[in-house]
Amino acid sequence: MKTRSAKLHYLLIPIRTLMKVLSLLLIIVFSGSLAAQEIPAARKNINTLTSAMLWGRGYTKDGMAKAGDYIREEFKKAGLQPMSGNDFRQYFSYPVNTFPGKMEVTVNGKKLVPGKDFIIGPASSGQKNIDVHPLQTDSVTFIAKDQRLVLSLEEKLTWSVAQKTDNYTLLQVNKKSLDGKPEAVDINIENTFVPDFKTSNICGIVKGTRVPDSLLLITAHYDHLGGMGEHTFFPGANDNASGISLLLSLVKYYTENPPPYSIGFICFAGEEAGLLGSAYFTEHPLITLDKIKFLINIDMVGTGERGITVVNATLHPKEFTLLNQINDQKKYLSKINSRGKAANSDHYYFTEKGVPAFFIYTQGGISAYHDVYDLPATLPLTEFTDLRHLFIDFNAQMMK
């Protein structure tokens, strides 16, 4: 015959099991609720950053300045503190070639659409109402020497930023836009060289609750290519509205959950012109660089079907192993790929100063890059939530 206590013991077993199941269900529901909140907020930020109002976050129509103001206001709303002094902005300047005005090209009587049918070499000089008949020099190149025009036929149009102006115009035309060779070309293009373009990095910090002098850093660049002419701009959804949106999501998390270490956030300008914002910051740091325990730079993180790639993984095997251990346990991403040192984003100048750093980008999904097709509507944000959680878990381990 069983005692009363034994009967109670047997009754408690299913109750304990039930409580565990209920707890697990609550965690799943709560996590799903958080994910449901994160994605709409991310979409809102990306839609704003890629809007015509911010005009490609570049050099005409005050696009980069407006983007910086938007990020600064988001920092303020979240309760972030300036990294130094009373201003989130760290000002600097550099020369840049811009195209604020006319952008008109006709080839063989067909009017071409900027960005879709053609782009102008970023260092090109302007050409005012010229009519030329270029000579073919190879299968894809046509030159009008006297009119200082070089025309090249391209499979894909990929634009960038130049800090100088050449004494000729490079016209890159999509092969699919022409039926035959470019025999007659009419051009009306305006360029403006700005010797001292003024911009700023946007820098904030959450002070640590236990070890405020130790610092983790999360960075991303907010600038993009801007506009080419009066009617065409490059939205830059994946590059790098996605990274800024993820950074802002992490800002919200850490201001609501103050960590033991301080966590700094830097949104760099001038990345597309040659990593200029991060180069300036490392030469004029607002924090002591040797107090940075680790830096994660995020750039183009809007996809993720094929996992992520970690630049500098081979430089920091201990931290790369930790990242994989967390991912293996939580099953966040399908794959974490290792890559060595590379000067391909804003982590680079920190690495050169001895700051341990990863640069992380997602793989798979859309292939649009430095063109007018890098749009918010086609950005899947496949692993946005999982990547956010991976960073939070990684930082938590780094602060132990």
pLDDT band at 23 (very low <50, low <70, confident <90, very high): very low
Residue 397 CA to residue 389 CA, distance in Å, equals 13
Structure confidence at residue 37 (pLDDT): 81
What letter represents residue 343's amino acid? Answer: A
Among the listed residues 112, 116, 146, the one whose alpha carbon sits nearest the alpha carbon of residue 130 = 146
% helix, strand, coil for the chain, step of 5: 35, 30, 40
Q: What angle do CA 57, 187, 102 make, to 5 degrees?
A: 35
Question: Model confidence over 77-103: pLDDT tens digits?
Answer: 999 999 999 999 999 999 999 999 999
Q: What angle do CA 288, 296, 82 make, to 5 degrees?
A: 50
Structure confidence at residue 133 (pLDDT): 96
pLDDT band at 31 (very low <50, low <70, confident <90, very high): very low
SS3 249: helix
Residue 158 CA to residue 67 CA, distance in Å, equals 22
* Domain edges within the chain: 39-97+194-398, 102-189
Integer distance in angstroms from the first to the last C-alpha of the chain? 52
Identify the CATH homologous superfamily for domain 39-97+194-398.
Zn peptidases (3.40.630.10)
Q: Which residues, in sequence order, are bridge partners of residue 188? A: 104
Instruction: Classify residue 355 by burial, with Cβ atoms within 10 Å: 0-12, 13-18, 19+.
Output: buried
Structure confidence at residue 352 (pLDDT): 98
Among the listed residues 114, 391, 309, the one whose alpha carbon sits nearest the alpha carbon of residue 226 = 114
Question: Model confidence over 196-216: pLDDT tens digits?
Answer: 999 999 999 999 999 999 999
pTM beyond cutoff 0.85: yes
Mean of pLDDT values over 107-118 = 98
Residue 90 CA to residue 68 CA, distance in Å, equals 11
Mean of pLDDT values over 374-399 = 98
Q: Is the pLDDT of residue 128 over 70?
A: yes
